[in-house]
Amino acid sequence: MHPLRGAIAIVGAADTPVGVIAHLSATQLCVDAARRALADAGIRKDQVDGLITCNSMAEPYMYHAEAIAEYLQIFPRYCMSAATGGGTTFSVLHQAASAIATGMCHTVLITMADSLRSGLSREQAMKTQSSAGHAQFESPYGPTVPAFYALIARAHMARYGTTEEQFAAVAVACREHAHLNPSAQMRELITVDDVLNSRLIADPLHLLDCSLVSDGGSAVVVTSAERARDFPHAPVYLLGVGEGHGHEHISQAHSLTTSAARESGERAYAMAGLGPRDMDLAQLYDCFTPTVVVELEDLGFCPKGEGGAFAASGAIGPGGALPVNTHGGLLSHCHPGNPGSMFALTETVLQLRHAAVRARQVANARTALVHAQGGIMSSHTTIILGRERD
């Protein structure tokens, strides 16, 4: 058995309010999330000896983790910040687990936040969106991030016959979940027609195919399984984790329709000794609707080329065979940039504690897969969490 399987547990998890939080800076949101997670874990800040953060776009620091430690007045022996796009959350969870397992520290606080909605001007946001391309092969043609994901959508449509309506079904399902979540930024129900009739952003992606722009922060507290018994909530155990890294720029991708989620998923399943059919729910990175379609396939929830039909069948909505993004995801709950997938992690902890609001609690949830990716389907991390160690 892999030495990390069941050896690490999440014992605290919390979010800040999300949406437009103009009265708090990105740094204040990061600290607020940290304090909330510590309170949920029932520990003092001086009991934390490891800290991991993700740098902010709106309020960056050269040494972000050290700056947050200074702000909190904690003095950890393990301290680092990371930035691998949306995959940051789960890659650093992998690193925190390794740090705990090797004795570098005992209790790690992972906290992330940003203020993309109120902390960046429109000009700054557009500059960020347009700066992701390869200087030689992409940027000269002027695409922004949505255009890169539109390439993936078009490729999937051309190869497998996926339709715009099937992509739209992903947004509809996420909104159905968000409708049940009082903390979600967007809760009003939408239809496939609403998605298709929303403003065209990058053909074939419409406004409602695209994730939100938000302020917000989220944090978790991680420790060893043995120490987890001393905390107030039932631990949520890390059963499997895997990473897959395919490219940095989309023009260098080996495929537009198959991603490194295939490798990250296979590695996580192998560590956990479980497979797709063992998952009671999944949280899949949904920066754009085609991303979920590709991830459903690459993570083994349906055959290749059938992700669109699977999403349109109702399987990923509330009460479906595989509820996906039970908090509403990046499409409807919130998306404050790199920290966005943190909310999928805290939501999964809530679900596996059986502590979600009854209307959206997945019945008898015991095992969940959570996946995030950074860049343009570039860097992937998959984790499998469970209520039990074995």
pLDDT tens track for 12-57: 999 999 999 999 999 999 999 999 999 999 999 999 999 999 999 8
Report the chain's mean pLDDT, rounded to a whole number.
94
Backbone angles phi, psi at 310, to 5 degrees: -60, -45
What pLDDT does residue 140 have? 77
H or E stretch at 261: helix 261-272
Domains of the chain: 8-120+214-228 (3.40.47.10), 137-212+239-386 (3.40.47.10)
- What are 233-285's pLDDT values in tens digits? 999 999 999 999 998 888 899 999 999 999 999 999 999 999 999 999 999 99
The candidate with the shortest Cα–Cα distance to 379, out of 189, 278, 247, is 247
- What are 46-98's pLDDT values in tens digits? 999 999 999 998 898 999 999 999 999 999 999 999 876 777 788 999 999 99
What pLDDT does residue 130 have? 56
pTM of the model: 0.95
Are 6 and 390 contacting, i.e. CB atoms less than 8 angstroms apart? yes
Res. 1: pLDDT tops 90: no
Residue with tokens 């018994």: 229
The candidate with the shortest Cα–Cα distance to 385, out of 216, 219, 181, 222, is 222
Residues 249, 262, 323: CA angle, nearest 5 degrees: 110
What pLDDT does residue 98 have? 94
Are 316 and 165 contacting, i.e. CB atoms less than 8 angstroms apart? no
What pLDDT does residue 143 have? 82
What pLDDT does residue 362 have? 97
DSSP state letters, 29-66: HHHHHHHHHHHHHT--GGG--EEEEE--SSS--TTHHH
The candidate with the shortest Cα–Cα distance to 215, out of 363, 86, 30, is 30
Whole-angstrom CA distances from 47 to 51, 105, 109, 223 are: 11, 11, 10, 11
- What are 123-135's pLDDT values in tens digits? 766 666 656 667 7
- What are 278-322's pLDDT values in tens digits? 999 999 999 999 999 999 999 999 999 999 999 999 999 999 999
Res. 331: pLDDT tops 80: yes
- What are 338-380's pLDDT values in tens digits? 899 999 999 999 999 999 988 899 999 999 999 999 889 999 9
What pLDDT does residue 266 have? 98
Banded model confidence at residue 390, pLDDT cuts 50, 70, 90: confident
